[in-house]
Structure 1
Amino acid sequence: MHTGNVVSRSIEISNLVREAAEQGVFLSAEGGELRFKLAVEEFPPALRSRIVERKPELIAFLLGMQTPESQFKLRRADGADEVVVGSPGQHRLWLLDKLGAGASYNMPAVLQVRGELDPIAAERALRSILERHEPLRTSFAEGEDGPVLRLQDGIGSLFRRIDMSGDGEDALSAAIKAEGLRAFDLERGPLLRAVHLVTGPGHGVLLLTLHHIAADGWSLKLLAEEFAGFYRAERDGRPHGLAEPQLRYSDYAASVRDWLATSSAETQRAYWRKRLAGLASTARVPTDRQVGDGRLGHAERVGFTVPAAVARELREIARINRCSVFMVLHAIATVLVSRYANSDDVAVATTVANRRHKSVEGLIGFFVNTLVLRTRPRHDLVFGDYLREVRDVHLDAQANQDLPFDQVMALMGPDRRSATAPFQLMFSYESDAPAARVDLGDATLFHVQEAPGEAKFELLLVARDSEDSIRIDLDYATSCFDARTAASLVGGLQRLVVAVAGDPQERLHRFSVLSTEEHDGLLALAGGDLPFDAEATLHGRFARQAALTP
């Protein structure tokens, strides 16, 4: 084959990988297999056909991009299985806990119980999960150079049953809230607990709570699936049939530490250093009050459901612009922040699952990483053009997602505007929610959306995208914002969502975020037409002074 043909084919394959990413399909190769992650609702059919047609070439191209130094390799950590290695993310959460984060990093799952839950089978199922996933039975003691991690033995009971029959809804709500706010002791562990609140025969609530240092959102889904599998096996007296994990979390953590010493990691440091230069001066929504001690306290929630017709238009905008619905919503949210902050330099944080290797997909642990997305919603831009800029920011950030967030923070310098991060708004997009119901055989669990607890951010925006609807909620730190301000923000976002869906080719400055009442209120504050004093201008004062001292 001629060299020119080889180069041409390589360019074609490179363009196909890039085009797939622009359409929300992220390709990778591992172990001679082609893998993908979707940031859109479904795999575009035409794109799928092209990828299948050129699958061997894609695998060869993607593997060729992975030099020994740039490829993130997972390996078994040195030492015995009892040796525990922590990740940089765990180190950061341990520091936050030492600074008094308390229950801020609890991860509660609230499940309604219908049927009779067997406490013995439940206890044994939880113990099987603890044995399977080392982060849940790891303790974090304080050492000279940071946390000292150890695996625990002799763990006491994990499952508690509390009879609340006849106590009423208020007492039940208070108990659920109290359990979610009960802090873990990282030095003692374990980092998983379960409480069954029995409200009557065949009725109750199961509370499964983990600490974020040992788990992430992906882990919550695994926890529910494995609890059901182990529970049913215990009830039926049979083997559980779950495949053993290929690696431990310690293997992942050690691999991350190895990678941090490579030139590939240094390349990502250079990207983030340049991308986030001067981040402290980016837009921030004015707060109603400043937090004196840096602790954000309790969070409250306000939100809305996007009308079905509007949701369809948003999906169409995403399809036309070859991006995800999340990118569309992110672009809209930054227009809102820009308008409130009177700035066109906006930084919003989001999270990525950070499980790009198949061997860690079945592990409970803290894998998630935080990305800071910095965009510039300039007022004269057409929304469609701005959306494509946002898409490119997402793609570039995802290409540099391996650098742990604590290292990204270190590149930003010492300025910290928030108690936990150098950004004000965290935006989370969920399109793969846990199963609505979990069948245990003699009982069924139904997922319930938990109420907001302790605030980790001044503003947390969560978009939950299902086939039927899009729900958007804003959790706000009550120490920073009044309910009226939060309602105004959400109202403005709702108006922007509808306006963009109606005309995505409008310029950003033409979109209104104010309600009629808010607009009229601002005019009233101005007092209507104000008298104009010509002598109060700079040139008027100059002329007056010249007349006084000719």
Structure 2
Amino acid sequence: MTGVVDPTDARSRVGQLSDERRAVLMRRLAAQRSGRQAGPAAPRPRPPGAADLTVECSPTQRRVWLAAGLSPDSPGLHVTTAIRLSGPLDVAALQRAVSTVVARHDGLRTVADDSTPVVRQRVRADATVEVRRVDLAGGGQTAVVEALRRERFDLRRGPLLRVALLRRGDDDHVLVLVGHHFVMDGGSMGIVVRELAAVYTAVARRSPVPLPAHAVQYPDVSAWQWDLLRDGRLDRSLDYWRAVLAGVGEPLDLPLPRPGTPPERTVGVHPFRIDGAAARPGGPGGLAPGLLAVFTVLLARYTGRWDQTVGMFVAGRTRAETAGVVGNFTNLVAVRTDLTDRPAFAEAAVRVRVAFAGALAHQDAPFETVVATAGPPRVVGRPPLVQVAVNLHNHAYQHAAWHGLGAEVLPVSADHDDLDLTLVAVPQHTGTVDAAFEYPADRFAPEAVAALGRHLTTLGAALYADQGRRVSAAPMLPADELETLRAWGRGPGA
């Protein structure tokens, strides 16, 4: 194809570059990603108005609408946070903060309008979100949070944000917020929490609210995204994806046993911790490509497929104007890395970083459009193109300041139930990473996924301890598993 570099040739050339030239390449890709080079125009704000507004859904909203129709009770379509607030809480100030934040964001007043053949988004001029109050005198906090997380939303009526205050004691509460992916993503939840804390603090201090008005709202972004597709401004990105994903293989099959008994939940979660050098890989891009490199090698070792395509969830806020906007910007990008020559890990990590940087530079193309463009092999009942992914969270709202209150973000499952396996990673201020594998509980046995977690941490430590070792040779069995295998090999009489 004219003007498009063959991806196999590109990967070969990258492997031959010196460290200095690779650094130059990474800087240029980063520049393109941040918009310093020519790129799509910024979203145009719509004229303000007090009436309800009905406009076209974004590509992501269309996907969420279809998913909700297939699985209306899926908590995987919800984003949840729970924050323990310690100290004398002003409930009236909290309700005022919620009302103020809802009024600030079109996304929090949006519902689905399916009165036409193609669903649209309707922004209500006014919407009320009441803070539910629940007394936990009898305990049951975990069950209450889980019920709030799983409670179905009515996409047509709304509101699509749920706020509850759980009372543990006089000066001990848990604030639970649940939003639907039709109107928000994890980054938006961070915006909502930070603004709630800021408005609550202003109300409690009887001072002005220190939040500027938004020049751009989510309907503006939706129009911008469709302009990119319809005006051909994403053609270059689609050419990139078509080239990079040419010849991608069949859906990845993880050789993990199925559960022996029917699971109680639809989504399994196995938490574990990553520490040491694997949690602080350094180098260009930091944790994201470093963690992705280890995960890619693990998948290759498990499956024997050394040309791996792994998904990475990205924030999708590629323009400064969208930094404070509530909506669903999240996109899934495919990071394809060829390790068929079993290189040293230092080289493998460079290849992953280059592939990841290229994916970020072209992340404005919606994943569904990329799939249609690339035309990967499809199998009924399996997700197309990407079956496993990494979701790296940046919980910036963990440190939001609430006037007179201590705040602690509590762990809540995210339930990524649309892929075979998702590695969720949350960096901690201690330098460790709280991680979890989320997977379809009816597909993989929990003990097999637990072993996968142990192998990831062991492999990561080994790879970063000796980056000159070939990726096929680094140990991934923990010492106790290795000793068990040796004992089996010696037999009962040894």
Q: TM-score range by the shorter chain?
A: 0.7 to 0.9
In the alignment, does 2:470 pair up with 1:477?
Answer: no
Which range moves more in the overlay, 458-467 or 226-235? 458-467
Which one has a bigger Cα radius of gyration?
1
Q: Which amino acid aligns with 2:41?
A: F
SS in 1 for 2:213: coil
In the alignment, does 2:406 pair up with 1:444?
Answer: yes
Distance 1:275 1:387 in 2: 18
Match in the other structure for 1:343: 305
Distance 1:476 1:409 in 2: 22
SS in 2 for 1:146: coil
Distance 1:521 1:282 in 2: 33
Match in the other structure for 1:369: 331
SS in 1 for 2:463: helix
Q: Once the 2 structures are TM-superposed, how far is the Cα of residue 279 of structure 1 from its aligned partner? A: 3.4
- Note the alpha carbon deviations across 1:464-503, whole angstroms, 9 max, x for none: 3345322133223322111110111111111111111211
Runs of 4+ in 1 over 6 A off after TM superposition: 15-18, 520-528
Match in the other structure for 1:267: 236
Q: Once the 2 structures are TM-superposed, how far is the Cα of residue 519 of structure 1 from its aligned partner? A: 5.7
- Note the alpha carbon deviations across 1:88-117, whole angstroms, 9 max, x for none: 111111111111153211111110021233
How many residue pairs match? The answer is 463
Among candidates 388, 404, 409, match of residue 366 of structure 2 = 404
Cα–Cα, structure 1 residues 152 and 374, in superposed 2: closer, same or farther, change >3 Å?
A: same
Cα–Cα, structure 1 residues 407 and 311, in superposed 2: closer, same or farther, change >3 Å?
A: closer
Alignment of 1:17-416 (within 5 A): 19=23, 22=26, 26-27=30-31, 65-66=37-38, 70-77=39-46, 82-102=53-73, 103-152=75-124, 155-165=127-137, 167-168=138-139, 171-281=140-250, 283-289=252-258, 297-307=266-276, 310-311=277-278, 315=281, 318-319=282-283, 322-378=284-340, 380-413=342-375, 415-416=378-379
The percent of aligned pairs where both chains have the same amino acid is 25
Q: Which amino acid aligns with 2:112?
A: F
Distance 1:80 1:280 in 2: 50
Q: Once the 2 structures are TM-superposed, how far is the Cα of residue 411 of structure 1 from its aligned partner? A: 2.4
- Note the alpha carbon deviations across 1:250-302, whole angstroms, 9 max, x for none: 11111111111234311211221222234352543124349xxxxx9223223
Q: Once the 2 structures are TM-superposed, how far is the Cα of residue 521 of structure 1 from its aligned partner? A: 7.0
Q: Once the 2 structures are TM-superposed, how far is the Cα of residue 22 of structure 1 from its aligned partner? A: 2.2
Distance 2:404 2:233 in 1: 51
Distance 1:412 1:473 in 2: 30
Q: Once the 2 structures are TM-superposed, how far is the Cα of residue 417 of structure 1 from its aligned partner? A: 6.1
TM norm structure 2:
0.85
Cα–Cα, structure 1 residues 454 and 247, in superposed 2: closer, same or farther, change >3 Å?
A: closer
Q: Once the 2 structures are TM-superposed, how far is the Cα of residue 19 of structure 1 from its aligned partner? A: 3.9
In the alignment, does 2:423 pair up with 1:423?
Answer: no
SS in 2 for 1:130: helix
SS in 2 for 1:254: helix
Q: Once the 2 structures are TM-superposed, how far is the Cα of residue 197 of structure 1 from its aligned partner? A: 0.8
Q: Once the 2 structures are TM-superposed, how far is the Cα of residue 17 of structure 1 from its aligned partner? A: 11
Distance 2:29 2:374 in 1: 30
Among candidates 493, 498, 502, match of residue 465 of structure 2 = 502
Q: Once the 2 structures are TM-superposed, how far is the Cα of residue 418 of structure 1 from its aligned partner? A: 5.7
Which range moves more in the overlay, 78-87 or 272-281? 78-87
Q: Once the 2 structures are TM-superposed, how far is the Cα of residue 421 of structure 1 from its aligned partner? A: 5.0
Cα–Cα, structure 1 residues 255 and 23, in superposed 2: closer, same or farther, change >3 Å?
A: closer
Q: Once the 2 structures are TM-superposed, how far is the Cα of residue 508 of structure 1 from its aligned partner? A: 1.5
Asked if 1 retains the 8 angstrom alpha-carbon contact of 2:182 and 2:328, the reply is: yes
SS in 1 for 2:400: strand
- Taking only aligned residues, the RMSD between alpha carbons, in angstroms, comes to 3.1
Q: Which amino acid aligns with 2:477?
A: L
Q: Which amino acid aligns with 2:239?
A: A
In structure 1, the gaps of 5 or more residues are: 1-14, 29-35, 38-61, 291-295, 529-550
SS in 2 for 1:281: coil
SS in 2 for 1:185: coil
